[in-house]
Structure 1
Amino acid sequence: MVKALEWQEQHPIFAISPTDWTNGAYYTGVVRAHQATKNQIFLAALKTMGYNNQWETLKRYHHADDIAIVYPYLYIDGTRKDLVNLEPSTTFIDKHLFEPNPWRQGPKDSLTHILWWWCDALFMAPPVLASYSKYKNDSSFLDEMHKYYMETYNLLYDQEEHLFARDLRFVWKGDKNDKKAENGRKIFWSRGNGWVLGGLALVLDDMPKDYKHRAFYENLFKEMAFKLKSIQSEDGLWRTSLLDPDSYTHGETSGSGFFTFALAWGVNNKLLSKQEFMPTIQKAWEALEDCQQENGMVGWVQNIGDAPTGAGAKSWQNYGTGAFLLAGSEVMKLE
């Protein structure tokens, strides 16, 4: 894990800005690595990132991607009071949840007629809101999160397959124009579902045990976990097109990393049976380790996208490193 961090810090990369979703996902992994190990190298990387960003977010207040960076800010604030300027984060959250925006008036057949219209958003925003609700000791933020989460769930969750479509393009309507994988089955993107399941673990970690909607999140987590256990490939990694594993000959590490993190978290928090899931987790972690090169780089990461494509031994992204760190942070707790 340390080698992965050191390599990534020496090779900074982001899609738009140092405060974008790719860095948000990466530094969420760094948060969990520090939380699990207490190794100061992880905390130093977090503080340096925050100072360099001046604790800012991006400014697309209606877009969940631009809130992801707040998760590490909130964690850093918990390590030392008065270090972090949370005003930009508070402004973003208030505008994101409560300020009217054009998406509310979008046509019902468009991709973007709800706030979180793509499944990736369920990693970007809900963990931040659960953490912020805990920080503020105010369950109204959880209530708002739940309202928008249910919109996405009702739009994109497939009740038969127990997986999320990436967006409306991949929701089957029962006609000849439905998008199909090469084997004729529905298309479910590995990293997209990794975003969801990893995000669920993070949300549940900060959600009070007696929160009125907690049972919904626990049940969804378990449904998805059992589905993913059943479709893990023999080599331990999941393929980018989950129900068409033959479409790509090698597994992919960002989706697989998020799955490994979530499944290990489920065992560690007694939502999943250790006896049932340990073989799945062990096989996945060993496969992820095999994808890490000697210099620390985590390869076989699918590049930025919105649908299944291939990856290579030398393809990497910061969110892939983040997923690797998330996975390691929970696997190391297993007994």
Structure 2
Amino acid sequence: MHRRRLLSGAAALTASASLLPSLAGTAHAVPRAASAGLPPRAEITAVLRRVADQWIGAHTDPGDNGWANATFFSGLLALQRLTNSDRYLAYARGWAEKHAYGLNGGVTTRHADNHNAGQAYLDLYEREPEERKLTAIETSLHRMVYEDQPDKNDDWWWDDALHMAMPPFARMGALRKDPQYWAKLYALYDHTKRIEGGPGLYDPATGLWYRDKRFLPGGIASPTGKPVVWSRGNGWVAGGHVKTLKALPPGERHTAEYRDTLTRLVRAVAGVQRGDGFWNVNLADAAHLPGPETSGTSFFLYGTSYAIGAGLVDRPTYLPVAARAWNGLVTTAVHHDGFLGYVQNVGDRPESSQPVTYDSTANFGVGAFLLAGTELARLARY
């Protein structure tokens, strides 16, 4: 018996061949092929409720307001919007009240991880508007835009930061009708994408991202000498773009670039999806820790589902990608009681927090799963 560790179309790959040579034409040995059929919305929602309820039942203390737990609450509040559950709203409200809607590091923080809690605070504000809920996140972002070295744009030096901090800037700009938040968002984003590490963390030839400058060509490689293109790192990027696009108006000057970047990422990962519906922790090396992994897969499902619904990619081609991911997650990672397994815990590369097992879980992995399933449910029939 495992011991649970409870820790808080394919043609699009052509452009990715230079970065992902190891996966071109490679069949990964998998235990079970995932179905490409999309379940009805009620069935998807029932699984989401089971996973959320299991986590809440096992965590009567809602926990800290760090980036990992904030990702869980982002997912829970997405599910709350889908289901209108009073229980989920009360649990999230209790968490935010426990922390007085504050941020790790206080309002002077510039660190993207510390801004992630602001996403849930904004969700709670939209549900029950009270200005005190936004005091900390707004003050912190306002300082970066207007007061504290407003020309400094090198804060987001790792790709995870795009998920943590892009959405609060986008949403605050929309809420306050102040495009300076959007300008600052793009300046920070552009540095990460094109300047950080010299060439930037984005590879325009493939549409994928390196986690940070250590993994750029000539840096850290897999044990067989192939590139390290971390699944969850790219998943964070996908999630950040989805949430940002949900907040920005279509006419904002950089919306088109965000849409194009997400579209290219979704197309690229579709070409390296495994037969069981998952993605490898290293997208560029199928032999590098090849077991199933839930968090990166969930974020790719989130990005793909949004891209389908927003018309960024062709539904007949990409809906089977999303369905295989969902069905693989449900049949392989979701336990009968709703416990979510095969989550790679905190780290910065495929080797982090290994081994990833049936009983490996984490709050941010559950949050990613809830985000993904909630977005997929919108594509399903009743």
TM-score normalised according to structure 1 size: 0.91
Tell me the distance in 1 between the aligned counterparts of 2:336 and 2:84.
24
1:228 pairs, out of 269, 283, 291, with 269
Q: State the AA in 2 paired with 1:172.
A: P
Q: 1:84 to 1:285 in 2, by over 3 A?
A: farther
- Mapped to 1, the partners of 2:131 and 2:91 lie a distance apart of 15
Choose which of 156, 172, 175 in structure 2 pairs with 1:116.
156
1:81 to 129, 140, 147: 129
Give the distance between the partners of 2:206 and 2:130, measured in 1 at CA: 46
How does 1:271-310 map onto structure 2 within 5 Å? Answer: 271-290=312-331, 291-309=333-351, 310=354
The letter for the 1-side match of 2:340 is V
2:180 corresponds to 1:151? no
Alpha-carbon displacement from aligned partner over 1:287-318 (angstroms, at most 9, x marks no partner):
11120111211110001001113411111000
Task: Return the offset for 1:13.
Answer: 10
- Residues 10 and 91 from structure 1, CA distance in 2 versus in 1: closer, same or farther, beyond 3 angstroms? same
Deviates more, 1:157-166 or 1:316-325: 157-166
Q: State the distance in 2 between where 1:26 and 1:9 align.
A: 11
Distance in 2 separating the partners of 1:202 and 1:121: 13
Give the drift of 1:233: 0.8
Q: Hey, what does 1:55 align to over in structure 2?
A: 101
Deviation at 1:135, TM superposition (A): 1.3
Q: Which residue of 2 aligns with 1:139?
A: 179
**Greater length-normalized contact order (CA 8 Å, ≥ 6 residues apart):** 2
Does residue 8 (structure 1) correspond to residue 72 (structure 2)? The answer is no
| Residue equivalent to 1:93 | 141
Alignment match of 2:120 (pick from 50, 72, 93) = 72
Question: Is the contact between residue 182 and residue 244 of structure 1 (CA under 8 Å) also seen in structure 2?
Answer: no
Does the CA contact (< 8 Å) of 1:63 and 1:96 recur in 2?
no
Q: Residues 240 and 90 (structure 1 numbering): CA distance in 2 closer, same or farther, change over 3 Å?
A: same
Instruction: Determine helix, strand or coil for the equivalent of 2:282.
Output: coil
Q: CA deviation at 1:98?
A: 4.2
User: Which secondary structure does the structure 2 equivalent of 1:3 belong to?
Assistant: helix
Does the 8 Å contact 1:73/1:84 carry over to 2?
no
Q: Which residue of 2 aligns with 1:108?
A: none
String of CA shifts for 1:242-296, please: whole Å, max 9, x gaps: 1112222322100100110110011111111111101100000011112011121
Q: CA deviation at 1:19?
A: 1.2
Please give the alpha-carbon distance, in whole angstroms, between the structure 2 residues aligned to 1:193 and 1:13.
Answer: 32
Quote the sequence identity (%).
Answer: 28
Amino acid at match of 2:125: D
Structure-to-structure mapping, 1:163-242, within 5 angstroms: 163-173=208-218, 178-242=219-283
Query: Pairwise mapping of residues 318-329 of structure 1 onto structure 2 (< 5 A)?
Result: 318-329=363-374
Q: What residue number does 1:315 align with?
A: 360
Unaligned segments of structure 1, at least 5 residues: 105-112
Please report how far the alpha carbon of residue 84 of structure 1 lies from its aligned counterpart in structure 2 after TM superposition: 4.6
**Number of residue-to-residue matches in the alignment:** 321
SS in 2 for 1:86: helix
Counterpart-to-counterpart distance in 2, 1:330 and 1:299: 20
Aligned-residue RMSD, C-alpha? 2.1
| CA 1:198–1:78: 2 relative to 1, 3 Å | same
2:298 matched to 1:257? yes
Give distance in 2, aligned partners of 1:12 and 1:157.
37
Q: Is the 8 A contact 1:26 1:321 kept in 2?
A: yes
Contact preservation (8 Å) 2:105, 2:114: yes
Contact between 2:281 and 2:290, CA under 8 Å: does it hold in 1? no
Residue 26 of structure 1 corresponds to 72
Q: Aligned partner of 2:122: which letter?
A: L
Q: Which amino acid aligns with 1:7?
A: Q
2:43 aligns with: none
Whole-Å separation in 1 of the counterparts to 2:253 and 2:367: 31
What amino acid is aligned across from residue 128 of structure 1 in structure 2?
P
Q: Structure 2 CA distance, aligned partners of 1:151 and 1:237?
A: 31
| Cα distance in 2 between the residues matched to 1:296 and 1:98 | 45
**Secondary structure of 2:133's match?**
coil
Q: Secondary structure at the match of 1:203?
A: helix
Question: Quick one: distance in 2 between partners of 1:88 and 1:12?
Answer: 26
1:183: how far off? 3.8
Q: For structure 1, which segment, 122-131 or 55-64, has the greater mean C-alpha deviation from structure 2 after superposition?
A: 55-64
